Structure 1
Amino acid sequence: MKKKQIRCWTVLFLLLGFAIIKPLDAAEKQTLVFLNWAEYLNPDLVKEFETEFNAEIKEIFFETDEMRNEKLGLTMGQGYDLVLISGSAISQYIRMQWLARLDLSRIPNIIHISPRWRDAFPGSDAYAVPYTWGTIGIAYRQDIIKTKITSWKQLFEPEESLKGKIMMIKDSNDTIGMALKALGYSINSTSAKELDQAEKLLLSQKPFVKKYSSLILSEKSGLITGSYHMAMAYNGDALTLQTRDKNIEFIVPQEGTNIWIDYLAVMRGSNKKELAYSFINFLNKPENAARSASFLYYATPNKSAEIFLEPEYLKNPVIYPDEAVLSRSEFYKPVPAQAKKKRNSIFSKLLR
Structure 2
Amino acid sequence: MDRRKFLVLSGAAIAALGGCQVSNPFDQRDRLRIMGLLGAIPSKVINQFESASKTKIEFKAENAPSKLWQELQNYPNIAKEKAPHLVSIGDSWLDQAIAKSLIQPITPDLLAKIPKWQKLSPLWQQSVTRNNQVWGIPYRWGATAIAYRSDKLKFNITQWSDLWRPELKLKLSLPDDAREVIGLVLKKMGQSYQLENLVERQDIFATLTQELKSLNSQVLTYSSDNYLQSLLADDTFAAVGWTSDMHKAQKQNPNLKVVIPQNGTALWSDLWVIPKGELAIAATEWMNFCLTPEIAAQITSLTEAVSASSELDQVPASVKADPIKFFSQDILTKSELIAPLSPSTLTQYKDLWTKLRSGTI
Structure 2 vs 1, CA of residues 207 and 40 (structure 1 numbering), >3 Å: closer, same or farther?
farther
Q: CA-to-partner distance for each residue in 1:281-311, whole Å, 9 max, x for gaps?
A: 342332222111122232222233x232111
Post-superposition CA distance 1:237-277 (Å, at most 9, x none): 3233223322221222232222333322212x133533533
Gaps of 5+ in 1: 1-26
Does the alignment pair 1:99 with 2:107?
Answer: no
The structure where helix makes up a greater share of residues is 1
- 2:296·2:307 contact (CA, 8 Å) conserved in 1? yes
Mapping of residues 80-119 of structure 1, within 5 Å: 81-87=85-91, 90=94, 93-102=97-106, 103-110=110-117, 113-119=120-126
Please, which of 307, 313, 316 is the counterpart of residue 307 of structure 1? 313
1:330 aligns with one of 310, 329, 336: 336
Aligned twin of 1:179: 185
CA distance in 2, matches of 1:75, 1:158: 46
Change (3 A) 1:182 1:70: farther
* Residues 298, 319 of structure 1: 8 Å contact kept: yes
Q: Decide whether aligned partners of structure 1 residues 40 and 345 sit closer, same or farther in structure 2, where only a CA change above 3 A counts.
A: farther
Q: Distance in 2 between matches of 1:93 and 1:54?
A: 27
CA deviations 1:10-30 (Å, max 9, x no partner) are xxxxxxxxxxxxxxxxx7564
CA distance in 1, matches of 2:150, 2:303: 23
Larger radius of gyration: 1
- The 3 A distance-change label for structure 1 pair 101 and 213 is same
Tell me whether 1:296 sits opposite 2:298 in the alignment.
Answer: no
TM-score, length basis structure 1: 0.75
Query: Between Structure 1 and Structure 2, how many residues are aligned?
Result: 318
Q: Which residue of structure 2 aligns with residue 316 of structure 1?
A: 322
Root-mean-square deviation (CA), in Å? Answer: 3.5
Match of 1:137 in 2: 145
Deviation, structure 1 residue 44: 3.9
Distance 1:114 1:181, change over 3 A: closer
Q: Counterpart amino acid of 2:88?
A: L
Amino acid at match of 1:56: E
The match for 2:212 is 202
1:348, distance to aligned residue in structure 2 (A): 3.4
Matches within 5 A, 1:162-241: 162-190=168-196, 191-192=198-199, 193=202, 194-195=204-205, 197-214=207-224, 221-241=229-249
2:341 aligned partner, one-letter code = V
Alignment of 1:274 onto 2:281: yes
Residue identity opposite 2:221 in structure 1:
K
Residue aligned with 1:201, SS: helix
User: Does the CA contact (< 8 Å) of 1:112 and 1:284 recur in 2?
Assistant: no
> Are the aligned partners of 1:287 and 1:308 in contact in 2 as well (CA < 8 Å)?
yes
Unaligned runs of 5+ residues in structure 2 are 1-27
Give the match for residue 350 of structure 2.
344
Question: Take 1:125 and 1:314, find their aligned partners in 2: how far apart are those partners?
Answer: 33
Asked if the contact 1:141–1:247 (Cα under 8 Å) also holds between the matched residues in 2, the reply is: yes
Please state whether the residue corresponding to 1:288 is helix, strand or coil: helix
